[in-house]
């Protein structure tokens, strides 16, 4: 169902986030993440005039993860920033992500290692959504998400159960799509 029709309005700013996941030949995975900000009209910053339609931010973050979702490499690049020579001078700080696991305390790890003056607010915000992007990338390639339906039965409960409202263990979605894993409360 689409959003409702908006009242008359004028576009002023666009933020775009894109994450691409790549399976590497060495068995690792790369998540390439990019965040951009573009103003429609010219904007005067402390660092000078930025023409409308040009990037205010164009920031990239790549993390390399293993099959257990642990970061084994990380790099950042800042191709357009509001404060050239300052915003783009600490990309190596993002190597502090190495060793963090996307599913075990990752967001707290970002905060501890890169919050405030230790990192970039926008790159940190971008990093926050990497866990769910990794899970989507791993679905059926690394993490088996189907159970039954002509396939061998999974030995363990599918990962996605109890990760969202639609697939809560005692709900109708699990009863319909994963009946073997339905919580007893709904079966009675």
Please state the pTM of the whole predicted model: 0.84
161 DSSP 8-state letter = T
**Distance between CA atoms of 66 and 38, rounded to whole angstroms?**
34
Which of 19-28, 98-107, 162-171 is predicted with the least confidence, judged by mean pLDDT? 162-171
Residue 116 in tokens: 């405030």
**What domains are there in the chain, each with its CATH number?**
13-138 (3.90.1010), 145-188 (no CATH)
Supply the pLDDT for residue 188.
47
Give yes or no for a contact between 127 and 110, defined as CB atoms under 8 angstroms apart: yes
Supply the pLDDT for residue 145.
66
**Distance between CA atoms of 170 and 155, rounded to whole angstroms?**
20
CA-nearest of 158, 141, 160 to 149 is 158
Per-residue pLDDT averaged across 3-10, rounded? 95
């Amino acid at each position: 169902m689409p959003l409702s029709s908006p009242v008359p309005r004028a576009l002023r700013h666009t933020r775009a986030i894109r994450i691409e996941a790549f399976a590497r030949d060495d068995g690792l995975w790369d998540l390439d993440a990019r965040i951009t900000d573009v103003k429609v009209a010219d904007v005067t910053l402390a660092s000078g005039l930025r023409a409308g339609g040009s990037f205010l931010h164009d920031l990239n973050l790549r993390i390399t993860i293993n099959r257990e979702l642990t970061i084994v490499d990380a790099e950042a690049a800042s191709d357009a920033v509001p404060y050239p020579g300052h915003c783009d001078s600490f990309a190596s700080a993002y190597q502090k992500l190495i060793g963090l696991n996307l599913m075990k305390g990752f967001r707290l790890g970002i905060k501890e290692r890169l919050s405030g003056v230790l990192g970039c607010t926008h790159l940190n915000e971008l990093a926050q959504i990497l866990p769910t992007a990794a899970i989507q990338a791993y679905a059926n390639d690394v993490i088996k998400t189907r159970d039954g339906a002509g396939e061998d039965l999974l030995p363990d409960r599918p990962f996605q159960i109890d990760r969202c409202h639609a697939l809560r263990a005692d709900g109708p979605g699990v009863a319909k799509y994963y009946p073997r894993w339905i919580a007893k409360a709904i079966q009675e």
